[in-house]
Amino acid sequence: MASPDWKTYHERLPLPNLLNLRGCNVYPNCVLCHLDSQDPNHIFLNCPFSQQIWQTAGLLNSNPSTSVISIIDSLLLNSRSNSRTLVLRSASLCYILWYIWCGYWDYFFEQVPFAPHSILLKAIREAKDLCFHLRHPLPRQPRLVSWTPPPPFGFLKFNVDGASKGNPGPAGIGGVCRDHNSTFISCFSAGIGQTYAILAEALAIRHALLLATNMRASSIIVESDNLTVIGILIGKVNSCPWRISKIIDDCRHLASTFGSVVFCHSLREANAAADARPLLHFCIRPFYFVFFVVC
């Protein structure tokens, strides 16, 4: 059975203007308001009963030239959209049209009251269910992710990472230091035995601060791909897990000894130089090395 949207678009809805042309004797006016003829624009848009639905939904503008055909055109256009909002809006429009059609003929044939509020609720529920079950695939926009050098005013940037194979499990930390010219300055890497992932992330930041202290750096930036630990250090996360509370205190104390310290979050792709995951195969026994390049 073809949908009323398709039949409306092709002027094939079984309404009096078409049925009377085929020899049927059908009452021409709207059976709800009796004010106008039973044409698609009146039934779906201009009938006072239908207008209650659209005014409550707020999906259509008040332009009097709006027609059912223009709504269907917008449905076809938005069906190719990458916006979840537009897809949900299109699904809502489609289901509202469908339930207005069903409600109209339920009243005509079975004298079931036409209930605008109930029709709108059913349409919205069906639209949400449709979007949930379809899980509308949205292609992600490409995003360039790259390492950003520190400011050219004496800053050094540490990119650090911690990881564990299991939680808890064999864990390791790693980090690399570079200047504003992207020149490699130093790095560290260590296996830290059996521990938790978040503890490894916090230890990696503390080790970067200790290394910067030994290098007598005055202004540093510490980047990590762990949003929780960075959020705690910059004050955006209020609750600190008890496992890392002492390490966070150490980091804050060490940070207070520098002229300028910035903690910031980095996406994993931009933090690849410090990725500690390759260490996990070797982290059963702790090991450690630091390498300096003398400039």
Give the number of other Cβ atoms within 10 Å of residue 155's Cβ: 17
- Of the pLDDT bands very low, low, confident and very high (cuts 50, 70, 90), residue 61 is low
SS3 241: coil
H or E, element range at 177:
strand 169-178
Of 67-76, 84-93, 133-142, 251-260, the one with minimum mean pLDDT is 133-142
E strands, 179-247, are 184-195, 219-224
pTM over 0.85: no
Tokens at 68, concatenated: 């059912």
Query: Could you tell me where in the chain the CATH 3.30.420.10 domains are found?
Result: 155-292
Give the number of other Cβ atoms within 10 Å of residue 31's Cβ: 15
Q: What is the CATH T-level fold of the domain 155-292, as seen in this structure?
A: Nucleotidyltransferase; domain 5 (3.30.420)
CA atoms within 13 A on the CB side of 138: 14
What whole-number distance in Å separates Cα of residue 249 and Cα of residue 261?
15
Each residue of 110-144: pLDDT tens digit? Answer: 888 888 888 888 888 888 887 776 665 555 667 78
- Check pLDDT > 80 for residue 258: yes
